[in-house]
Chains A and B, each alone.
Chain A
Amino acid sequence: GAGVSQSPSNKVTEKGKDVELRCDPISGHTALYWYRQSLGQGLEFLIYFQGNSAPDKSGLPSDRFSAERTGGSVSTLTIQRTQQEDSAVYLCASSLAWGGGNTGELFFGEGSRLTVL
């Protein structure tokens, strides 16, 4: 498809299990972002990729959270030993990016809703 694709759309897991969330950005978009949306909260920045490198991972809440991007395309967000407070919608976005400028237009996926029981 032409948009940002995220999978799974819904994930229910037990506390302590690991989960992987996948993001397939728009073809040609070099920048990729992960955000988290919790009930009643705004969108919380987690990590940003430019190509395969992550210049800014300042938003990752703990060392249980990690992300990688391969081939300048697909990204995976991994949460280890999930906790109930990890329950949220995880949103991925991509954008065209070039040095020295920003477009401001992030293209978002529909998100992965994670529920930790």
Chain B
Amino acid sequence: AQKVTQAQTEISVVEKEDVTLDCVYETRDTTYYLFWYKQPPSGELVFLIRRNSFDEQNEISGRYSWNFQKSTSSFNFTITASQVVDSAVYFCALSEDSNTDKLIFGTGTRLQVFP
């Protein structure tokens, strides 16, 4: 069965601190896709990244970086030099279906960045 675990329910940091959001997944498939979405207070989820299971390269996009490790079934998300605008709920998700965008989401991590 597929499952996504985000053990951190809530994280609080002060602006400019680095913060890592953890994501652990379970799947029996060898081909799968991992995602991160951001849900700001407005409620509308925003896509951040997709990674397929054959690509273990880490990715960096500005202050955001992702560390995918198949050996530990983890796909962690790091925000460098956090800002107040980063405050949101962040969801990690998994898909085993290459023909749809049906995602299995974790329970989310609420990040609060204080000035």
Point out residues on A near B: beta carbons under 8 Å: 3, 31, 33, 35, 40-45, 48, 50, 55-56, 89, 91, 93, 95, 97, 99-111
Contact = CB atoms under 8 A, between A and B. Distances in A.
B101 A33 contact: yes
Interface string B81-108: 0000000000101010111111111111
Given A101-B98, A102-B95, A102-B98, A45 B104 contact: yes
B55 interface: no
Contacts of A99: 99
Interface residues of B, number: 27
10 contacts: A31-B101, A35-B105, A42-B91, A43-B45, A44-B105, A89-B43, A93-B101, A102-B98, A104-B101, A111-B43
Contacts of B50: 103-105
B92 to A, nearest CB: 9
B44 A109 contact: yes
Contacts of A40: 107
Nearest to B50: A104
B26 to A, nearest CB: 14
B69 to A, nearest CB: 19
B100 A31 contact: yes
